[in-house]
Structure 1
Amino acid sequence: MDGGHDVQKGLRAFVSHIAEDGRIELVRDHLREVAEMAAEFARPFGAEGWAYAAGMAHDIGKYSPEFQNRILRGGRKVDHSTAGAYELFEHLNAKLLAYCVAGHHGGLPDGGSSADVDGGSTLLSRIDGARQGELPDYHAFADEVELPIAGKLAFRMPPDPKDGFALAFLARMVFSCLVDADFLCTERFMRGGAREQLSTEGLDALRERLEAKVATFYPPKTELNETRCSLLDACARAAEEAPGVFSLTVPTGGGKTYASLRFALRHALAEGHGMRRVIYAVPYTSIIEQNAAVFREVLGERNVLEHHANFDFDDAGEDGDALRLATENWDAPVVVTTNVQLFESLFANKTSRCRKLHNIAGSVIVLDEAQMLPTKQLLPCVRALAELVQRYDCTVVLCTATQPSLDGLFERYGCSVREIAPDPQGLYERLRRVSYRFEGAVEDGDLASRLAAHEQVLCVVNSRKQAKRLYDLVAGDCAEGAFHLSTLMHPVHRERVLKEVRRRLKGGEACRVVATSLVEAGVDVDFPVVYRALAGIDSVVQCAGRCNREGRRDVQESVVHLFEPAEPYALPADVRQKAELARLVLRGAGIDVSAADEPCDVGSLEVIAAYFNQLHEIRRDRLDASGALADLELLRVSGGAPCIPFKDVADRFRMIEEGSHPVIVFDPRISDDLAAVREGRAMRGAMRRLARYSVGLYDNDLEVLKAAHSVELLEGDTYVLLDGDLYHEDTGLDASDAGGKGLFL
Structure 2
Amino acid sequence: MYYSHRSEDGRIELLKDHLREVSEMSAEFASAFGAESWGRAVGLLHDVGKYSDEFQNRLLNNGPKVDHSTAGAWLLAESGRDLLSYCIAGHHGGLPDGVPGQESCRSGFVERMTKAQRGDIPCFTAYEKEVDFSPESLENPTIKATRESARFRFSFLARMVFSCLVDADYLCTERFMADDSRDRLRSDGISHLNRRLEAKIAPFFPPKTKINEARCGVLEDCLRASQSDRGVYSITAPTGSGKTYALMRFALNHAEKHGMRRVICAEPYTSIIEQNADVYREALGDENILEHHANFDFSFDDESGLGRRLRLASENWEAPIVVTTNVQLFESLLSNRTSRCRKLHNIAGSVIVLDEAQMIPTKYLAVCVKCLAELVRNYGCTVVLCSATQPSLASFFEEEDFDVKEIVSDVDVLFASLRRVTYEDAGVLDDESLAGMLAESGQALCIVNSRRQAKALYEMVKSARGSDGVYHLTTLMHPDHRRRVLGEVRSRLGGGDPCVVVATSLVEAGVDLDFPTVFRAMAGIDSLVQAAGRCNREMRRPATEGRMVVFEPPSSYALPREVEQHASVARGVLMAADYAVSRLDSTETIAAYFNRLYKVQGERGLDSEGVAEMLSTYGKSTGRLKLFDIPFETAANRMKFIDDSSYSVIVPTPGYEDEIVALERGLLSRAGMRRLSRISVSVYQGDLDRLNEVGALRPITDELFLLLDASKYSQETGLDSSADSGSGLFW
CA spacing shift, 1:288–1:136, aligned 2, 3 Å = same
1:668 CA displacement: 2.9
Check conservation: 1:704, 1:739, Cα contact below 8 A.
no
Check conservation: 2:255, 2:262, Cα contact below 8 A.
yes
1:672 CA displacement: 1.6
Q: For residue 733 of structure 1, what is the aligned residue in structure 2?
A: 719
- Residue 440 (structure 2) pairs with residue 458 (structure 1): no
State the distance in 1 between where 2:153 and 2:343 align: 18
Check conservation: 1:726, 1:737, Cα contact below 8 A.
no
How many residue pairs get aligned? The number is 718
CA spacing shift, 1:572–1:729, aligned 2, 3 Å = same
CA spacing shift, 1:161–1:578, aligned 2, 3 Å = closer
State the distance in 1 between where 2:653 and 2:407 align: 48
CA spacing shift, 1:158–1:422, aligned 2, 3 Å = closer
Alignment of 1:693-712 (within 5 A): 693-712=679-698
1:20 CA displacement: 2.3
State the distance in 2 between where 1:108 and 1:701 align: 35
CA spacing shift, 1:740–1:507, aligned 2, 3 Å = closer
Q: For residue 329 of structure 2, what is the aligned residue in structure 1?
A: 342
State the distance in 2 between where 1:210 and 1:121 align: 51
Partner-residue secondary structure (3-state), 2:29: helix
Q: For residue 306 of structure 1, what is the aligned residue in structure 2?
A: 291
What do the CA deviations read for 1:82-113 (whole angstroms, capped 9, x no partner)? 110111111x3211100001111111111128
Q: For residue 559 of structure 1, what is the aligned residue in structure 2?
A: 547
1:416 CA displacement: 1.1
Partner-residue secondary structure (3-state), 1:343: helix
- Residue 164 (structure 2) pairs with residue 167 (structure 1): no
CA spacing shift, 1:158–1:591, aligned 2, 3 Å = closer
Q: For residue 410 of structure 1, what is the aligned residue in structure 2?
A: 397
Q: For residue 633 of structure 1, what is the aligned residue in structure 2?
A: 616
Check conservation: 1:457, 1:511, Cα contact below 8 A.
yes
State the distance in 2 between where 1:373 and 1:333 align: 24
Q: For residue 678 of structure 2, what is the aligned residue in structure 1?
A: 692
- Residue 288 (structure 2) pairs with residue 288 (structure 1): no
Q: Greater CA deviation, 274-283 or 701-710?
A: 701-710
Q: For residue 67 of structure 1, what is the aligned residue in structure 2?
A: 55
State the distance in 2 between where 1:671 and 1:650 align: 36
CA spacing shift, 1:391–1:316, aligned 2, 3 Å = farther
CA spacing shift, 1:672–1:316, aligned 2, 3 Å = closer
1:700 CA displacement: 1.4
Q: For residue 9 of structure 1, what is the aligned residue in structure 2?
A: none
- Residue 95 (structure 2) pairs with residue 133 (structure 1): no
Check conservation: 2:41, 2:138, Cα contact below 8 A.
no
State the distance in 2 between where 1:182 and 1:610 align: 49
1:651 CA displacement: 1.1
What do the CA deviations read for 1:281-317 (whole angstroms, capped 9, x no partner)? 0000000001110111111100000110000001262
1:167 CA displacement: 0.7
What do the CA deviations read for 1:300-356 (whole angstroms, capped 9, x no partner)? 100000110000001262201111000111000000100000000000011001000
AA aligned opposite 1:600:
S
Q: For residue 594 of structure 2, what is the aligned residue in structure 1?
A: 612
State the distance in 1 between where 2:219 and 2:115 align: 60
Q: For residue 141 of structure 2, what is the aligned residue in structure 1?
A: 155
Check conservation: 1:280, 1:366, Cα contact below 8 A.
yes
State the distance in 2 between where 1:112 and 1:535 align: 42
Using the size of structure 2 for normalisation, the TM-score is: 0.96
State the distance in 2 between where 1:363 and 1:329 align: 14
Alignment of 1:520-539 (within 5 A): 520-539=508-527
Alignment of 1:384-423 (within 5 A): 384-423=371-410
State the distance in 2 between where 1:416 and 1:42 align: 28
- Residue 183 (structure 2) pairs with residue 183 (structure 1): no
Using the size of structure 1 for normalisation, the TM-score is: 0.94
Q: For residue 251 of structure 1, what is the aligned residue in structure 2?
A: 238
Check conservation: 2:709, 2:726, Cα contact below 8 A.
no
State the distance in 2 between where 1:343 and 1:31 align: 31
Gaps of 5+ in 1: 1-12, 593-598
Q: Greater CA deviation, 720-729 or 135-144?
A: 720-729
Q: For residue 444 of structure 1, what is the aligned residue in structure 2?
A: 431
AA aligned opposite 1:618:
V
Q: For residue 10 of structure 1, what is the aligned residue in structure 2?
A: none
State the distance in 2 between where 1:148 and 1:229 align: 58
Gaps of 5+ in 2: none
Partner-residue secondary structure (3-state), 1:288: helix
- Residue 18 (structure 2) pairs with residue 22 (structure 1): no
Partner-residue secondary structure (3-state), 2:265: strand
AA aligned opposite 2:454:
A
Check conservation: 2:30, 2:161, Cα contact below 8 A.
yes
1:154 CA displacement: 1.8
CA spacing shift, 1:124–1:737, aligned 2, 3 Å = closer
State the distance in 2 between where 1:167 and 1:582 align: 39
AA aligned opposite 2:282:
E
AA aligned opposite 2:520:
R
Q: For residue 661 of structure 2, what is the aligned residue in structure 1?
A: 675
Check conservation: 2:358, 2:389, Cα contact below 8 A.
yes
1:691 CA displacement: 1.7
Runs of 4 or more consecutive aligned structure 1 residues displaced over 3 Å after TM superposition: 158-162, 589-592
Q: For residue 315 of structure 1, what is the aligned residue in structure 2?
A: 300
Partner-residue secondary structure (3-state), 1:22: coil
CA spacing shift, 1:88–1:590, aligned 2, 3 Å = closer
State the distance in 2 between where 1:295 and 1:550 align: 21
Selected match of 1:661 from 632, 636, 647: 647
State the distance in 1 between where 2:640 and 2:84 align: 26
Check conservation: 1:303, 1:333, Cα contact below 8 A.
yes
Check conservation: 1:705, 1:739, Cα contact below 8 A.
no
Partner-residue secondary structure (3-state), 1:315: coil
Q: Greater CA deviation, 349-358 or 70-79?
A: 70-79
Partner-residue secondary structure (3-state), 2:655: helix
State the distance in 1 between where 2:445 and 2:228 align: 42
Partner-residue secondary structure (3-state), 1:216: helix
Check conservation: 2:694, 2:723, Cα contact below 8 A.
no
Partner-residue secondary structure (3-state), 2:204: coil
Selected match of 1:473 from 460, 479, 484: 460
State the distance in 1 between where 2:653 and 2:109 align: 48
AA aligned opposite 2:35:
A
AA aligned opposite 1:680:
G
State the distance in 2 between where 1:453 and 1:712 align: 43
State the distance in 2 between where 1:571 and 1:739 align: 27
State the distance in 2 between where 1:237 and 1:158 align: 29
State the distance in 2 between where 1:387 and 1:190 align: 37
What do the CA deviations read for 1:649-681 (whole angstroms, capped 9, x no partner)? 111111122342221222232222111011111
State the distance in 1 between where 2:346 and 2:275 align: 24
Selected match of 1:198 from 185, 193, 212: 185
AA aligned opposite 2:130:
E
Q: For residue 584 of structure 1, what is the aligned residue in structure 2?
A: 572
CA spacing shift, 1:226–1:119, aligned 2, 3 Å = closer
CA spacing shift, 1:567–1:348, aligned 2, 3 Å = closer
State the distance in 2 between where 1:340 and 1:256 align: 21
AA aligned opposite 2:136:
A
CA spacing shift, 1:329–1:148, aligned 2, 3 Å = farther
Selected match of 1:100 from 43, 62, 87: 87
Partner-residue secondary structure (3-state), 1:111: coil
What do the CA deviations read for 1:144-200 (whole angstroms, capped 9, x no partner)? 111133353321336457621111000000000011111111111111121111111
AA aligned opposite 2:128:
A
1:683 CA displacement: 2.4
Partner-residue secondary structure (3-state), 1:668: coil
AA aligned opposite 1:126:
R
CA spacing shift, 1:148–1:335, aligned 2, 3 Å = farther
